[in-house]
Amino acid sequence: MRQLEEATGRALLEDEGAAAPQAPDCCLTAQTMVQVLKQCGEELTRENVMRQAANLKNFELGLLLPGIKINTSPTDYFPVEQMQMSRFNGEHGELFGPTITGEIGTQ
């Protein structure tokens, strides 16, 4: 399954007709929806889909950086609360430092 998801992501990115900034977002959304449906099992009701979407735990997606995980809860719908710093080295960006975790939008 993982190979299929990665191949689909690569194919979408390589498609000349695909809008590059949108392609990764579409793949991430699709992979997340697949996980939600797996968690639903046989109970495919709106209520259960919403419940499972609000209960994603440490879900990793192939197009996100290593260490970045999707987490949701009934009180926190913001799925990504981690980031990785990068800097331009004159040719391309380079990651540095650890993955930074923090709640976004809290005061």
Provide the residue-wise pLDDT of the chain in tens; the chain has 107 residues.
455 445 545 555 555 554 455 567 888 999 999 999 999 999 999 999 999 999 999 999 988 888 899 999 999 988 888 888 999 999 999 999 998 887 655 54
Four-point Cα dihedral 101, 77, 37, 67, nearest 10: -10
Q: What is the largest CA-CA distance in the chain?
A: 52
Q: Which residues contact 9 (CB under 8 A, 6 or more apart)?
A: 23, 24, 27, 62, 63
